[in-house]
Structure 1
Amino acid sequence: MLNFKTNRLLIYISSFFIIILVLFAVFRDNSESITLLEAKKILNEKSVENVVVTKEYVFLKTQNGLYKIASSQVNPSMFEGYKVEVGNESNIILYLFLLVFILGLGSLGIKLLLNHLNKDLPSLRQSSRPIMGESVRIESIKSDVGFDDIGGISDVKVELEEIIDFMKNPKRYKSFGARLPRGVLLVGPPGVGKTMIAKAVASEADAPFFYQSGASFVQIYVGMGAKRVHELFNAAKKNAPSIIFIDEIDAVGKKRDGQRNDEREATLNQLLTEMDGFEASSGVIVVAATNKIDVLDDALLRAGRFDRRIFVELPTKIERASILAKYLDKVPHSLDVSVVANMTVGFNGASLAALVNEAALLSLRQNDMQVTLEHFEQVKDKVMFGKKKLQILSDKQKQYRITYQAAKVIIATYFDIPFEKLILSNERLTPATDEPFIKHELENRVKMLLAGTVACSMRYSEHSSSAKQDLDEAKELVEKMINEYCMGENIYASDNEKETTMNKLYENVSKLLSSLSSVMQRVEGDLNEFESISKRKVKEYLDEIL
């Protein structure tokens, strides 16, 4: 690919040749040379319309064309009776300069117009992909998010407060021989608030905040990604102390595996070079976020680049309560946030924000004065799994679904698996999580996933295809228990240990459901009538017989 300067030079050269061709077409001499005899013949025929005399030629214009003869060959008496004009050869040069002036004036006008449009539409320029050779102006933003606006990040806050203090009081650390970390890598699943944390750091440090996504560096033109990285770091250094935040850095910082991708590697190399080029006094720190640290290039993770890694995990119950309290601050309610926190296992910060918003919207739709726990129970599944409408089922298919879901909700309540409410239209009851589990907790989850299939097989000797998702998750959990977590009979699993474990859990569920047949009937009756049931209600039924 051609770089910017070469491309601009080619444009200028092409424009010059186009102007030459236009001038040649306009001013070229298209007259036909004739002899003295031919000239006399044309004059005698009285077909000449106009005679123009110049220093070198006499031009005879007729209806058939334009003819010329050397001035030295003619006699002025030949043109008696004709109107003779004296031509000025300097007119051609005058026309040439006039044309060049008009073209130059037009180019200047177009340039001024484009500059005016660029000033009026800055957001459009920033949102569009830059064309080849275009330099996008990188500007800082002022963050209005502080740590007080974010709940449930106490551990992360401790790690970052030191960096904030360093940016505010650099002399204190330099006098002690300490240096500012060059890079901080925030690692965690999507939706836990990594971007908000970076903005909070910039706000607390009162520093300019330069935001870029990793994808914005991946250009279709060779060299443009590296150029953008260079411009970003230059802008940050000019505004130091400042913070550069690169979201989803794995888009540009993936491991170099030998496969050819010159642009991505050039951009990564430029990023590594810029981070190496930091001076101790530069006052610039790079904060990056990713949920795939395992795919990042080792050169990015070595000391001297991203010196500090901070893991931002899914919030715990106490942290969820803190986050909910922040979001409910302006929502009318009389809720105990710990109850809502208890029913939102597996939710990240973004999901909790969506949950509060959906509950508030539902409250408005129902014309209620404040948000209640019932509102949260009604919208929880919508936020977690998406809104689903019960499929049009035949009476027999619906009965299969009721039996299947009744068995799941009973086993989940029996083993106290976290959930609040089951809706008939949702196949899933609780989200899968990667939290550390004890062996019996994993087995209980597998039992819950198998319960629907077991109940349908016991009553109808068959089950429906909708059990696939639960069965796949059950198989995956047993696979991990035996092969990854070494929860089988031996550290090294035997060939049939997975099958043995699954069959054992299946039999346990079958025996348990047989002993709870009366509870099954009551739960199925509620699901048939209301198409939903709460954990609290199922627990009441279980307490009556246990």
Structure 2
Amino acid sequence: MNFHEEFNLAVRARCAVMYVTTREEERLLSVVKDCAAELENMRVVSWDFASGFDVGIAVGKGNPIAVLDFIAKEPADAPVLYVLKDFHRFLEDNMVCRMVKNLSMQLKPQQKSILIVSPVFKLPEELTSSVSVLEFQLPTLPELREYITNITQNVVVDMDREGFEQFVRAFQGLTISTVKTILSKALARSGKISLNDLQLVLEEKKQVIRKTQVLEFFHAEETMGSIGGMDVLKSWIVTRGMAFSEQAQQFGLPYPKGVLIVGIQGTGKSLCAKAISQQWHMPLLRLDVGRLMGSYVGESEARTREMIQIAEAMAPCVLWIDEVDKGFAGIGGVQGDSGAQARVFGSLITWMQEKKSPVFIVATANNIEQLPPEFMRKGRFDEIFFVNLPTEKERLEIFRLHISRRRDIAVKNYDLAALARETKGFSGAEIEQVINDAMFTAFSQQRDFTTEDILSAIHSTIPLSVTFKETINKLIAWAGSGRARMASSQQEAAETQNGDQLYYSYQQNGTGDSLS
């Protein structure tokens, strides 16, 4: 249900006090006036703290209590809607809060309604059952296309029809006022509109997402070539990426929903999220679940709705939920959870199950035991992959990748095979760290680093596979029971530094031998 339908339904149902969160006051007011015209010519009167009412009413300027008192006493011979801008600032006042609650009951039989408009969601607990919360969506693609077409009619547009469509799509997730600002900047810079202006759109999106404090915009530079090993996962990513094309939609393919990547810390799970974004040429949005939690009643749910709205408006995109196991630890379990956390979790998994937009979710987790079972069910993710510690062959590849970035041609001067043999039980992150340690040592002696420097760093490092051997073996046993697909096709067994077996032989049919 869009805002137009939701608003009309709320007014007809005699919801006396409504609350909408948006940063687009001007567009909202325009839509509300269109809706009001359909509701027996409802009159729309707006108010703000600095200017008071916009129709010459003398009371209420700088005085929210006087505003509510006026609304309560003013006779209404015809339907009227009072739009109160930024009124959230006054709801914490005991008098204002009580007056709003009284009006929510007093106005029901009358032809008067109140719409509180705010850029943030702040509703006191006392008002949660008295106020209807509405959702005002960001501009849709057709709305953006119409607006940009109209505003660029009298300027030079240096692109063909296909390029213009790409240009319009780039504005998804932005407000109309922001679109206008970007187009003005483009014209001021070059006197025309062209695909070269897409960089302006990208920079503005970064700013907008940063201001929301819910999502983080990542500019991923990592590619599939940046990942050592994981051939099965990389092949799966390439195949799934084809499903976003127009040909795939005509073929009848649904959009891929997402992937859950489980594994030991430092094995490249986050790197996969960045590489997917680069491989598919999609924006990467990072979600920290902790940022969804707010201190006010309903604020967490409002932030969740805002996150979903932004992600869908920016689609196609990759939504990266990093360390999701920490964000939802204890949901429905013995550790307990807050009601808000449970509601946020419920909203998120419902959206993951039902979403039709091309928002591909990449969730990463270290501790599978902390994840609620319902989060992992089919329909929310297309696949669950397990990233094990790298095999000897994969470790050699990881050494080659990291050393070649630092010394390129000189990589042949390093004994990669020896380094791979000596790092049994090391993660990719630990391999990178021993190279860095070797470089620090060599730089302090004013020389280049050598294989011996790296070996020395290896021998002085205790990997997590030793420190948390029991925890890691338990995780591997979970994956080995056929509950997740292996990210790598490597079947060799390897041992940790202290001789304990850490890898199991993964059979092609998906079964795994128990750990010894």
TM-score by length of structure 2 reads 0.49
**Structure showing the higher helix proportion among its residues:** 1
- If asked which structure has higher relative contact order (CA below 8 Å, sep 6+), I would say 2
